[in-house]
Structure 1
């Protein structure tokens, strides 16, 4: 039987100290290793054991607890390594003059879009098609302009 996320949450909420939560495979409990670790810590804190049939992990035994903790340590190390590599890559890119993020919209096009909007002769859709400025960008700029007027 496969549980939905809300059913799984209800099951975990219902479980009491001394219960054993049996799953076919650990990935049924969470999509990420981080979520699995958080969940296992929550269960452990509440005195609820965890058994995974397919992964041969049984936290009711000393070996099972040790195995699960070792997996948690490896997962944490993996997350840290990914984070370090990402930071190093970003620093390297910055050193080469690269800047991350989305490219800025051409200011001339944004100004043109604002002028067309002010004429009240065009729909936002028409302004988007004419200037290639998205609706979100147009409204963001209008909001900035409004807050600048209110500040003065």
Structure 2
């Protein structure tokens, strides 16, 4: 197949000790028409948010380009992260092509692929709504038992660090985070402002926990 300069590839393996290699993925991308010099790679877990190869790949993509990956899980392990990434690529005019696996039917370069991605995105939204609904139900149940019953929520420096990162992103990520740790959004805003800055209540937590002063690490 002829190489297409508008196609940029990304490959990833989880192991960094040499027990996993990129060859299978690289060969598949080259066979699909991606130039070898336009393939970015990582040797890191898909659960890690910082992946230098992927970050460089996303930065170089331009409108009209197509991101080519071997399997959908090479791009990320979280359903919400995958949907977010693909939506951002689509907004930039960048297509996605998955070569194999169940995700091969999901993409943005064909009408059928866009339809499948729409279903994919709907499932991610459904998953988020279930988390929020379960959290609200749990809070309501706790309130009916009395404010002193149940497990007391404790804010920690680690939770503050995650909350601060969530607050700097879109509103739905704040809802996801507060649902996962079992607090209300109003509680989250008592610790971190909408601009991501720590409030005095957060600073007191850091002082008590001995996490230092100023911004979080």
Show CA shifts across 1:30-86 (max 9, x none). Answer: 232222122111111111110122212232110101110111011101111111112
Alignment of structure 1 residues 70-85 onto 2, 5 Å: 70-85=119-134
> Is 1:64–2:116 an aligned residue pair?
no
Alignment of structure 1 residues 84-103 onto 2, 5 Å: 84-97=133-146, 98-99=149-150, 100-102=152-154
Aligned equivalents of 2:107, 2:75: Cα separation in 1: 15
Q: Which has the larger radius of gyration?
A: 1
> Is 1:26–2:94 an aligned residue pair?
no
Q: What 5-or-longer segments of structure 1 have no aligned partner? A: 103-136, 143-152
- TM-score, L = length of structure 1: 0.62
- What displacement does 1:141 show? 9.0
Distance 1:43 1:95, change over 3 A: same
Distance 1:35 1:141, change over 3 A: closer
Q: What 5-or-longer segments of structure 2 have no aligned partner? A: 1-10, 13-40, 43-50, 155-204, 211-217
Equivalenced residue count is: 108
Per residue, is there more helix in 1 or in 2? 1
